[in-house]
Amino acid sequence: MPKRFVSIILTFILGLATSFWIVACQSETPTTQTTASPMATATTAAVADELRLGVLLPATGDLASIGAPMVKGIDLLVSTVNECGGVLGKPIVEFKEDDRTQPQAGAEAITKLIQVDKVGAVVGSFASGVSTAAVAVAVPNKVVMISPGSTSPVFTERAKKGDFEGYWYRTAPPDTYQAAALANLAFKKGFRKVSTVVINNDYGVGFEKVFVAAFKKLGGTIINEANPTRYDPKATTFDAEARGAFGGKPDAVAAVLYPETGAPLIKAAYELGLTKDVTILLTDGVQTEDFPKAIGKTPDGNLILAGALGTVPGADGKSLETFSKNFKEKTNESVGAFVPHSYDAAALVAIAAESAKSATGEAIKSKIRDVANPPGQEVADVCEALKLVKAGTEIDFQGASGNVDLDEFGDVKGSYDVWTVEPDGKIKVIDKVSA
Q: Mind listing the pLDDT tens digit for each residue in 147-206?
A: 999 999 899 999 999 999 999 999 999 988 899 999 999 999 999 999 999 999 988 999
Task: For the chain, give the percent of residues with pLDDT over 90.
Answer: 80
39: number of Cβ within 10 Å: 9
Looking at residue 390, its pLDDT comes to 97
pLDDT at residue 245 above 90? yes
Distance of alpha carbon 27 from alpha carbon 68, whole angstroms? 32
Better-predicted residue by pLDDT, 414 or 251 = 251
- Extended strands (E) in 140-180: 144-147, 168-170
Q: Indicate if the pLDDT at residue 330 is higher than 60.
A: yes
CA distance 36 to 135: 10
What local confidence, expressed as pLDDT, does residue 68 receive?
Answer: 94
pLDDT at position 413 is: 84
Is the pLDDT at 309 greater than 80? The verdict is yes
* pLDDT value at 90 more than 60: yes
Look at the alpha carbons of 316, 132, 366, 392 in this order and tell me if their dihedral is positive or negative. Answer: negative
Establish how many alpha carbons lie within 13 A of residue 390's alpha carbon, considering only the half-sphere containing its beta carbon: 13
Query: Does 247 score more than 50 pLDDT?
Result: yes
CATH 3.40.50.2300 segments of the chain: 43-174+317-397, 176-312+416-433
Domain spanning 43-174+317-397: which superfamily? Response regulator (3.40.50.2300)
Could you tell me the pLDDT band of residue 321, with boundaries at 50, 70 and 90?
very high
Report residue 55's pLDDT band, with 50, 70 and 90 as the boundaries: very high
Query: What is the average pLDDT across 85-94?
Result: 98
Question: Burial level of 361, CB count in 10 A (0-12/13-18/19+)?
Answer: buried
Q: Residue 13: what pLDDT?
A: 38
313, 283, 319: which is closest to 399 by C-alpha? 319
Query: Beta partners for 254?
Result: 196, 281
Q: How many C-alpha atoms does 266 have within 13 Å on its Cβ side? A: 32
Total residues belonging to the chain: 435
Q: What's the pLDDT band for 44 if we cut at 50, 70, 90? A: low
Cis peptide before 27 (omega within 30 of 0): no
Residue 92 DSSP class? P
Interatomic CA distance for residues 347 and 82, integer angstroms:
12
Per-residue pLDDT tens for 103-148? 999 999 999 999 999 999 999 999 999 999 999 999 999 999 999 9
Query: Which tens digit of pLDDT belongs to each residue from 13-43?
Result: 334 333 333 333 322 333 333 333 333 344 4
Return d(Cα 65, Cα 69) in angstroms, integer.
Answer: 8
Q: In CATH, which of 2.60.120.1440, 3.20.10.10, 3.90.1150.10, 3.40.50.2300 is domain 176-312+416-433?
A: 3.40.50.2300
Which pLDDT value is given to residue 26? 29
| pLDDT tens profile 372-417 | 999 999 999 999 999 999 999 999 999 999 999 999 999 998 778 9
Strands, DSSP E only, in 177-251?
A: 193-199, 221-222, 229-231
The candidate with the shortest Cα–Cα distance to 255, out of 220, 219, 204, is: 204
Nearest-angstrom CA–CA distance, 204 and 124: 18
Q: What is the pLDDT of residue 7?
A: 43
- What's the pLDDT band for 432 if we cut at 50, 70, 90? confident
The H or E element spanning position 281 is: strand 279-282
pLDDT, residue 9, reads: 40
pLDDT of 433 reads 86
Report residue 4's pLDDT band, with 50, 70 and 90 as the boundaries.
very low
End-to-end Cα separation, the chain, in angstroms: 83
Which has the higher per-residue pLDDT, 359 or 203? 359
Taking a C-beta distance cutoff of 8 angstroms, is the pair 416, 313 a contact? yes
